[in-house]
Amino acid sequence: MMEFFQWLENTGFSTWVRESPSVFAFPVILLLHTVGMALCVGISAGINLRVLGFAPGLRLSPLEKLFPILWVGFWINAITGTVLVMQDATNKLRNPDFFVKMVFIALALVVLRMIKNRVFKDPQLDRVPLGSNVKVLAILSLFFWLGAITCGRLLAYVGPVGGLG
Amino acid sequence: MESLNLAHLHLLLNHLPTIGFGIALGVYIIALVARSDALKRISLILFFLIAVMALPTFTSGGAAERVLCPENKCAEGVSPEMIRIHEDWALLAFLLMEATGFFAWLALWQLRKSSQLASWNWAVVLLLSLVTVSLMATAAGYGSEIRHPEIRPSETASSAMLLCADTPGVARCIGAVVAGNTGVAWLWPAAETVHFIGLCLLFAVVLVVNLRLLGMAKGLSFKALYQLLPFGMLGFAINLITGMMFFLAAPGQYVNNIEFHRKVALIVAAGINVLYFMLVDEDWSIGPDDNAPARTKIAAVFAICLWVGILYYGHMLPFLGNAF
């Protein structure tokens, strides 16, 4: 397994990302990861807060149009995240914190789907008050995203740490 | 040459939070006595703008210190103790001024929902601004004594906290704690995490509101959308607090860092930008499926670009500048 991690880390692309002085290598990839996070978690948090009862004058149904932006953010992060793990595979893939982060993201995605199905597919949306079930989902969603961000940030501090954040 | 300009910038900017804020408070009191809604609005706008400008005023202070005391050796006639006292009072005044700015903005926002404002907020703004003005005057007084060694403080600056007894000044002490110099290693990473959470909140609101203005997600009326703005402001408040923690912990990384200056300049511009949306009346009547007027769309494009720019320069601090 370690050989595979080392191979991953030493591919030409990984080396370029890690070692190139170009601003478009590591810095911009990490920047995109931050922007993706803002799009994905930010919009998700906005919808969750609305579901929880904040900003009651805001109709929920048009918010569904924001999901494409959320997914753009998610895929930006899936791609840049893969690159960031590749260039430091021997550390990141041996760091339990990384796998905790992945579990948080997986759970957040499951809950996101459940919210989408239960809230936005409901023909009674914006006509009847939301049930307490979806509110629990919204709280869970906020918690899972919070966990994912915290674990992500901690990757620079705990476990085997290599290179920049 | 650049740092010399920054010291001058500090001397130039510090009139705004002192004299400017005093004027704003005067207008506010006249408005309350005369029951003039127009004057009330003007004073709220002034409070908000001055709170925005207080950010570069405070951060340029660190650069000014480095001009007066390069490598911690102060020039003849400069009192380092006085700098610490000035910094502590300035930090306290800055905190209160930002709180005043926040509630002034909230008052402007509430005025959008109804012409009558919650009476509690008038009192909050009045109380905060009165305290701020006196703190600011104290800070300015000590600041003017930095260059006058004949006026020495009777007491020397001492840290009120046992936490960092060797560090003079409360601001330096907070910085030392955040930096982990007192054994609290988790505070900096925790503040970074919280900074990211604030970023998500702020950026999401900026995007949702401005993308709707540009025509996406029609079906949302402007009025309904504006309920989201306090969440964005909350995100900004979170990031201002955590950001100041970083600034106090490692001022050397920021005060002469061009990326940081650009970031602060863009934050000021974004503050003016958000004021546009609070002031233009016709935007508030944009219905769920209406198009926004062209100039509002321009302001929306500016808003998105400014915040992406702030995120960019913040992110680039470790790469293009000298911060970590």
Q: Which residues in chain A are contacts of B320 at CB distance < 8 A?
A: 23, 27
- pLDDT of residue B29 exceeding 90, the answer is yes
Nearest beta carbon to residue B204 from set A38, A55, A164: A38
Q: What is the mean pLDDT of residues A56-67?
A: 86
Is A66 in contact with B208 (Cβ distance < 8 A)? yes
B68-90 per-position pLDDT tens digit? 888 777 887 788 888 888 988 99
CB neighbourhood size of B60 (10 A): 23
The predicted structure's pLDDT at residue B208:
87
Q: In the A/B pair of chains, how many CB contacts fall below 8 A? A: 106
Is A62 in contact with B217 (Cβ distance < 8 A)? yes
Mutate one of A34, A37, A72, A126 to test the B interface: name it (highest B CB count within 10 A). Answer: A34
Give the distance from residue A43's alpha carbon to the nearest chain B alpha carbon, in angstroms. Answer: 5
The predicted structure's pLDDT at residue B1:
44
**Chain position carrying tokens 């970590």:** B324
Let me know: does A77 contact A145? Beta carbons within 8 Å.
no
> Is A105 contained in some domain?
yes
B189 inside 8 A of chain A by CB: yes
ipTM beyond cut 0.85: no
Length of chain A: 165
Give the distance from residue B289's alpha carbon to the nearest chain A alpha carbon, in angstroms. Answer: 11
Show which of residues 61-120 on chain A sit within 8 Å of chain B, judged by CB atoms. 61-63, 65-66, 69
Tell which phi-psi region holds residue B69, choosing left (phi > 0), alpha (psi between -120 and 50) or beta.
Answer: beta
Q: What is the mean pLDDT of residues B18-29?
A: 92
Let me know: does B230 contact A54? Beta carbons within 8 Å.
no
User: Between these two residues, A2 and A139, which has the higher pLDDT value?
Assistant: A139
> Is A141 contained in some domain?
yes
- pLDDT of residue B284 exceeding 80, the answer is no
Let me know: does B262 contact B313? Beta carbons within 8 Å.
yes
B82-122 per-position pLDDT tens digit? 888 898 899 999 999 999 999 999 998 888 777 666 678 88
B203 inside 8 A of chain A by CB: yes
Domain span at residue A149?
2-154
Count the domains in chain A: 1
Domain boundaries, chain B: 1-157, 158-324
**Distance between CA A93 and CA B81 in Å, rounded?**
50
> Is A161 contained in some domain?
no
Mean pLDDT of chain B: 85
Tell which phi-psi region holds residue B157, choosing left (phi > 0), alpha (psi between -120 and 50) or beta.
Answer: beta
